[in-house]
Structure 1
């Protein structure tokens, strides 16, 4: 193609980039409405990061890109937003498809400029933490600098299952009470721009309020609850893992706190729908490690339905045997039993 003809082709596309992207998304929409929505969100997000422009503002020169800039975008999604590999792959793929479309329509771009090696499927399989370990972290971290704030964000993380990026964007105005006026609700925006609301205890709410009493906190007036950098949170976790002798092989990171409640639900007999709601997932693909991990055939419905155990079975145990039975349960079951025992003791004391 001659230089003059090439310039004419480029000229034809000047100020028409948004129309070309719109035509591409129209094709996607005809195939699948959900895919169209996800692709549009991913493409808009990328160009807002890359050029700080909406799709309607883009010009031909804004499409020029080096592959190393895509590598930085991938790192931005992984490090700044704490997204799992699968979601990052899903955000990058529409960019590659778009550049393929633009190349076929005579834009001077190549899909290779934005193509990245696919990150390995992690199923968000970060190292697991038990409820007890998460609670211990919240207690130990108090002695660190900004300890009250760090303790509160740890507790809020494993209680709500919000991602780190969502937690850091929560404002005081995002905490409200339900219609009964007895339960505190926290609203956060998750990946894909989806809002998610989770309840928190009155005790946790008052722990959050204690942040406002810290002397350093008086300099903030932006309504955000937390003022912790990503490096601060990473260093916090490294220190806690060292104190608690959590080995690197366990792959425990701050994101591990997000999955604590899901693990609790699984261990206490909750179903996959409850886990999906807790984690605010729109599909089941990211939950396969909860559905298929550590298959326990003895506890499957087909066995449990045909297993008859009389209600009086526990009466045949001595006090010591009952205590031994409780102590030998997993940590989550013990925690449930202790909470129920505390409730019963408190009720007796109030009579």
Structure 2
């Protein structure tokens, strides 16, 4: 019995890692525990360049300035973290330091307190179709203009996130014999594999990048070679050229939102690789009669505005009535205004 007791005592080494594990195991939810562990590992690799297993007491000393620097680092990270995600990553550190201070570590949890970033669940605004049409001509005259143009075309066609687009390799684009188009596959948010069809014409445009002189120096099989700084400067340039106000919150993610005009909720769930229709709901788009093709192909199918002129009056009224009731109500209000102004 004494040997068993001694063995149990032997496991208690009093290391920082052991106490961090105790902290993580104190949560009822295993998802919370795993999330906090990931966030803490990310922080200490940035802060000390160490895995949590090798931390000592001296490594725990932190200043408020360090927290602010870390938040700035997360805001500019290529992973394009949302404000909500950054707040959660910071909260894990704050919670740990309350635990450490309570357990007599020489730390002050108060220094980890920084103001939360504003809720940005609706942070990315929407491009108008007329703006999307102008963007290629705006970018073509810039440095790496053709590559930038192909990046944004892929962005609004596939609705892949920026990090996913930048990670695409040429081998990830294959012919889809079932549809006669090309299929692009990437690893999306949460490590989920995601595939979207793109038209043959878009793939052929992508291949033209290989003919550009500077492109020959890249031997990594990646399709795109644009830094996050370059992409941010590109977005600023687009907004300036199109006179887009900051109030509209146009960011790179706005290209992803563009697909919302081209499908039903069920189609958008698949296109965005969302786990449920509830998640897709904030990207709600209009119904379309053409349900046979993927949204990525539908976006590339250019239809001229003059198509409406080919409809009879009865066809046009029938088309209006097929739209979402909110859209119909707004059209009725606009129609009433137009009639009264005559």
| TM norm. shorter chain > 0.5 | yes
8 Å CA contact 1:177–1:184 kept in 2: the answer is yes
8 Å CA contact 2:123–2:249 kept in 1: the answer is no
8 Å CA contact 1:123–1:287 kept in 2: the answer is no
After superposition, the Cα gap between the structure-2 partners of 1:117 and 1:281, relative to the gap in structure 1 and judged at 3 Å, is farther
The DSSP-based 3-state class of the residue aligned with 2:34 is helix
8 Å CA contact 1:125–1:289 kept in 2: the answer is no
Report the Cα distance in structure 2 between the residues aligned to 1:181 and 1:320, rounded to whole angstroms: 30
| Match of residue 239 from structure 1 | 237
Question: Aligned to 1:51, which of 41, 48, 53?
Answer: 48
| Match of residue 88 from structure 1 | 86
String of CA shifts for 1:139-171, please: whole Å, max 9, x gaps. 431222111110111112222222223322333
After superposition, the Cα gap between the structure-2 partners of 1:41 and 1:286, relative to the gap in structure 1 and judged at 3 Å, is farther
Any unmatched runs of 5+ in structure 1? 1-11, 294-316, 334-351
8 Å CA contact 1:41–1:192 kept in 2: the answer is no
Q: How many matched pairs?
A: 286
Question: Aligned to 2:32, which of 31, 35, 60?
Answer: 35
Aligned-residue offset at 1:220: 1.6
After superposition, the Cα gap between the structure-2 partners of 1:120 and 1:134, relative to the gap in structure 1 and judged at 3 Å, is same
After superposition, the Cα gap between the structure-2 partners of 1:193 and 1:53, relative to the gap in structure 1 and judged at 3 Å, is farther
Q: Does residue 166 of the first structure (1) align with residue 161 of the second (2)?
A: no
Aligned-residue offset at 1:120: 1.4
Q: What is the TM-score normalised by the length of structure 2?
A: 0.71
| Match of residue 115 from structure 1 | 113
| Match of residue 125 from structure 2 | 127
Question: Aligned to 1:146, which of 144, 147, 150?
Answer: 144
| Match of residue 208 from structure 1 | 206
| Match of residue 339 from structure 1 | none
String of CA shifts for 1:226-259, please: whole Å, max 9, x gaps. 2212222122122222222323332212221122
8 Å CA contact 2:62–2:111 kept in 1: the answer is yes
After superposition, the Cα gap between the structure-2 partners of 1:181 and 1:259, relative to the gap in structure 1 and judged at 3 Å, is closer
* Structure 1 stretch displaced more, 182-191 or 143-152: 182-191
Report the Cα distance in structure 2 between the residues aligned to 1:152 and 1:279, rounded to whole angstroms: 20
| Match of residue 22 from structure 1 | 21
Aligned-residue offset at 1:86: 1.4
Aligned-residue offset at 1:318: 9.6
Aligned-residue offset at 1:290: 4.3
After superposition, the Cα gap between the structure-2 partners of 1:91 and 1:184, relative to the gap in structure 1 and judged at 3 Å, is farther
RMSD (Å), alpha carbons: 3.3
| Match of residue 330 from structure 2 | none
Report the Cα distance in structure 2 between the residues aligned to 1:70 and 1:127, rounded to whole angstroms: 29
8 Å CA contact 2:272–2:280 kept in 1: the answer is no
Report the Cα distance in structure 2 between the residues aligned to 1:132 and 1:58, rounded to whole angstroms: 54
8 Å CA contact 2:151–2:224 kept in 1: the answer is yes
8 Å CA contact 1:124–1:286 kept in 2: the answer is no
Report the Cα distance in structure 2 between the residues aligned to 1:71 and 1:106, rounded to whole angstroms: 25
8 Å CA contact 1:123–1:289 kept in 2: the answer is no
Question: Aligned to 1:325, which of 312, 316, 322?
Answer: 316
Report the Cα distance in structure 2 between the residues aligned to 1:318 and 1:209, rounded to whole angstroms: 37
Q: What is the TM-score normalised by the length of structure 1?
A: 0.70
Report the Cα distance in structure 2 between the residues aligned to 1:178 and 1:33, rounded to whole angstroms: 40
After superposition, the Cα gap between the structure-2 partners of 1:51 and 1:140, relative to the gap in structure 1 and judged at 3 Å, is same
| Match of residue 341 from structure 1 | none
After superposition, the Cα gap between the structure-2 partners of 1:71 and 1:173, relative to the gap in structure 1 and judged at 3 Å, is farther
Any unmatched runs of 5+ in structure 2? 1-12, 286-307, 325-342
| Match of residue 97 from structure 1 | 95
Q: Does residue 188 of the first structure (1) align with residue 179 of the second (2)?
A: no
Question: Aligned to 2:63, which of 36, 60, 66?
Answer: 66
Report the Cα distance in structure 2 between the residues aligned to 1:285 and 1:319, rounded to whole angstroms: 37
After superposition, the Cα gap between the structure-2 partners of 1:180 and 1:278, relative to the gap in structure 1 and judged at 3 Å, is closer
